[in-house]
Each structure stands twice: as C-alpha cells, then as structure tokens.
Amino acid sequence: MKKGLIIAAALAMAPTLATAASFQEAFESNRAMHGNDHVFEWKGGKYHTNHEEEMEARVKATKANAADLLAKAKAKNAEVAKLGFEWKLTGGILKDAQKAIDEGDYQKALNLAAQAKYHARIGIQQYHYAQKNWHLSVPE
C-alpha cells in the first residue's frame, strides 16, 4: 500500500517536475518529493536539494566551526529582527546551539545554528513578500 502511494505521488508530480518554470519551483518540488541530498536535473544542469545552511553545517565538527556558524546565524537573525519578521522559535534554537557548544556537542551545534540561520533567511523572504503583496491582505 505504502509503495503504491509513493508511486502514485511520483506520477502525479512528474508533470510538475518536468515543466517547472523556474529553478525555485524545480528545487521546491524536488525537495518536497525527495528531501535533502537528492540530485535533480533542470534545464540541462544537475543540482542538489540541500539548503545553503545545510551545506554550511557540513564542515568538520569543531568548536571554532560551530561558533562561526552560530555567529552567522545570530547576525542573520538580528537582520530579520530589525525588519520585524523574526520567528519566535529561532531565539530558543540559538540558545540550544550555544548550549551544545558549551557541552562539546559541535555537530549538534552546527545543525541547530544552520536551522536558526535558515529560519532567519526565510523570515527575510517573508518580509520582502509582505512588502510586495501587502495589498492582498486589505479587505475589499
């Protein structure tokens, strides 16, 4: 049954993946379908479904690397906070990343810092979308 659902989903998504008008659409479709670490083709090129922050977390798990990524995540979060689009949960993730560094769990710290940086980046995208489409929330 489960295999049948997966095949049905793949068949349903196939036309969407083949006709993606933009790289972003192709990326998002493939990411939703296959998760991270998947390679897909788009307009003759091969691409992976990893977010940039996931790639940043794939460095050697050292205290210095974890602290560096955490600093980048905090800076990106400060940027989105100035715009008023900071996500509530990101602050807790940043604290958990610092705690992981303090406890010597550098891979966990890298993963958490990457997650926090991703949230901040998406918050910035939400801000720009809201600025462009504010009129959609005004009642007629």
CA-CA distance, 73 to 78, in Å (whole number)? 9
User: In the prediction, which pLDDT does 36 show?
Assistant: 92
pLDDT at 138: 84
Give the long-range contacts of residues 105-110, CB within 8 A, separation 24 or more. 106/61, 106/62, 106/63, 106/65, 106/66, 107/61, 109/66, 109/69, 109/70, 110/57, 110/59, 110/61, 110/65, 110/66, 110/69
25 and 76 both lie in a single domain: no
Let me know whether 46 and 83 are in one domain. no
Strand segments (E) across 1-140: 39-42, 45-48
What's the confidence (pLDDT) of residue 6?
A: 52
pLDDT above 60: residue 106: yes
Number of domains in the chain: 2
- Report pLDDT digits (tens) over 108-136: 999 999 999 999 999 999 999 999 998 88
Range of the domain at 16: 2-50
Residues 81 and 120 in one domain: yes
Residues 30 and 91 in one domain: no
3-state secondary structure of 45: strand
pLDDT exceeds cutoff 70 at 74: yes
How much is the average pLDDT of 83-108? 98
62 and 46 in a common domain = no
Residues 65, 32, single domain; the answer is no
Same domain assignment for residues 78 and 129: yes
Domain final position from 32, 50, 68? 50
Please provide the distance, in angstroms rounded to a whole number, between the alpha carbons at the two ends of the chain.
46
State whether 37 and 63 are in the same domain: no
Determine the pLDDT at residue 1: 53
What are 4-56's pLDDT values in tens digits? 545 545 445 555 445 678 999 999 999 999 999 999 999 999 999 999 999 99
* Angle ∠(52,38,44) on CA atoms, nearest 5: 90
